[in-house]
A and B are shown apart, each in its own frame.
Chain A
Amino acid sequence: MGRYWNEEIECMPREQMVKLQSERLVAQVKHVWDNVPYYRKLMEEKGVTPEDIKGIEDLHKLPFLTKADLRDAYPYGLLAKPLADCVRIQSTSGTTGKRVVAFYTQKDLDIWEDCCARAIVAAGGTNEDVCQVCYGYGLFTGGPGLNGGSHKVGCLTLPMSSGNTERQIQFMMDLGSTILCCTPSYAAYIGESLHKMGYGPDDIKLKAGIFGAEPWTEEMRHEIERLLGIKAYDIYGLTETSGPGVSFECEEQTGMHINEDHFIAEIIDPDTGEVLPEGSKGELVFTSITKEAFPLLRYRTRDICILTREKCSCGRTLVKMTKPMGRSDDMLIIKGVNVFPSQIESVLLKMSNASPNYQIVVDRVNNTDTFEIQVELTDEMFSDTIKSVEAVEKKIGEDIHSMLGIRAKIRLVEPNSIPRSEGKAQRVIDRRKLV
């Protein structure tokens, strides 16, 4: 097995890639126009028809899709294939409790897994490798995506899912895992646990890790590489377009190659929606040009990054994106989970008629995210006994957990104690310094 999973595509000359993308885009727009009334209406409102789209140079004429559209169209409004043709659903948390569901045909799954296979091969994976996947399995795309990619490459796949770290390390040692796939914070945790158990990199066979689903820094990369004695590769994706594998890092570790035969990437000004020239920092927008069941056109990811086409020493011609440098909305990624302040608000509204002021404080301690929500006590939430106040804390904590799937430390604070600037409270304090 060579350095590439699909050399023809991954190293395709630019002109040829543009031609391929154009053909696929034209066909995809027609497919969506014919099968997704929701998007057809958006196109009609903009006065665009499939005839106007002759190649990727016309992409900017198409309307955007946003997370709000996914919510409005939930669950079937953006589906482009009969349910009988779909074989899988994956899902992610959405705003105000409504989830985003994405549908896959068998072909969609094959392409998604193929994208993950490219990432594994770029990280040095072959059919000789033992690939330990400890992303969560289930509705979350992390586990199923890398699992499928690992099968394609022919790695011996260990579908561990997340958690039970001692068992992870036991299997890693007993079965000689060589590639680890999980969130970077879990990788760091496994590394620390390994050392706490009295072992080090020489006691395991790991050589590479493919880490994604949450923001991480170069410092964290070096720390993970040191703890586990591996090379750590970044991977990027989102449920709306498929899952992990939309882009992946090569051995150069200077950005992630986007699988452009399946996704067209654009960078736009998040305020005006205008397409920005190459090399500009802006919001990343993806158009899925091969997806059958859930083909999103011009989907605004809200991730801020830069695309570069400089020649990569790995030989791939696929455009590279930087790690996301921020968000153009207020979404936070905490412990790998998407969190919107509006979700916190909806939980707090249930506790009190007037929405209490609150502040989310996120930090990273020992490579693990900490998540605290400070809530200004309202009169309705207060009585004279400790236990009733603690019951309020506990109830908020449980509601947050059931909405987000992760726990937050709830801290009740005095009224008017959360600083306000120009009358508006600052909702989020993120001390993680991820960019």
Chain B
Amino acid sequence: MSVKQISIFMENRPGRISAVTRLLGDNGIDIRAMSLADTTDFGILRVVVNDADKCMSVLSNAGFSARATKVVAAALEDKPGGLASVMETLYENNIGVEYMYSFITREDGKAYVMLRVDDNDFTSSVLIEKGFKLLEESDLN
């Protein structure tokens, strides 16, 4: 079980994040979660949105380098130790995390963590077994 994440390559220069977020906004794309990884010269903006396919086509038409990848989105209690229990489960199952980021929703008081791992199916199965709820693509619409 996984959701589509879109990664966008961006140079480190003023106005780039502004340009891409305005582009998505103007096209009615709702960003559910995002993170920005940066180095000296470039960054990668990663977003989870309400309509990943539309987002990809908007970005590529505008000339951005973008790539869709699947990440595991796990729901957890928004309280101390909530994230730790997810991480412990991964650690116990020897699952390495390439990168991760989280977001909180207003509606259900839950926190979500996006996990980029090698094996989405295996990671999903161990988290479900431990009783964590995972998001699906349809949950984002």
Q: Which residues of A contact B (CB under 8 A)?
A: 377-379, 382-386, 389-390, 411-417
Contacts and interface: CB of A to CB of B under 8 A. Distances in A.
B9 A377 contact: yes
Contacts of B98: 385
Contacts of B2: none
B7 interface: yes
Contacts of B5: 384
The main secondary structure of chain B at its interface with chain A is strand
A389 B9 contact: yes
B11 A417 contact: yes
Given A390-B39, A414-B10, 15 more contacts: A377-B9, A377-B65, A382-B67, A383-B67, A384-B44, A384-B69, A384-B116, A385-B44, A386-B37, A389-B44, A411-B41, A412-B9, A414-B64, A414-B65, A415-B64
Contacts of A417: 11
The main secondary structure of chain A at its interface with chain B is loop
B63 interface: yes
A384 B98 CA distance: 10
Nearest to A409: B41
Contacts of A413: 11, 42
A415 B46 contact: no
Interface of B: 5, 7, 9-11, 16, 37, 39, 41-42, 44, 46, 63-65, 67, 69, 98-99, 116
A151 to B, nearest CB: 48
A386 B46 CA distance: 11
A414 B44 contact: no
Contacts of B69: 383-384
Nearest to B71: A384
A116 to B, nearest CB: 44
B97 to A, nearest CB: 12
B44 A386 contact: yes
A379 B65 contact: yes
Contacts of A385: 44, 98-99, 116
A378 B63 CA distance: 10
A415 B5 CA distance: 20
Contacts of A386: 37, 39, 44
Contacts of B99: 385
B39 A382 contact: no
Contacts of B16: 414
18 contacts: A377-B9, A377-B65, A379-B67, A382-B7, A382-B67, A384-B5, A384-B7, A384-B46, A384-B69, A386-B37, A389-B9, A390-B39, A411-B41, A412-B42, A414-B63, A415-B63, A415-B65, A417-B11
A384 B99 CA distance: 10
Contact of B9 (A390, A414, A416): A414
B11 A382 contact: no
Given A412-B9, A412-B41, A384 B65 contact: no
Contacts of B46: 384
Nearest to A384: B7
A68 to B, nearest CB: 36
Nearest to A379: B65
B42 A384 contact: no
B65 A382 contact: yes
A416 B11 CA distance: 12
Contacts of B65: 377-379, 382, 414-415
Q: Output the residue of B16, B46, B64 with the most chain A CB within 10 A.
A: B64
Q: Top 6 nearest A-B pairs by Cβ distance?
A: A384-B7, A416-B63, A384-B69, A377-B65, A382-B65, A386-B37
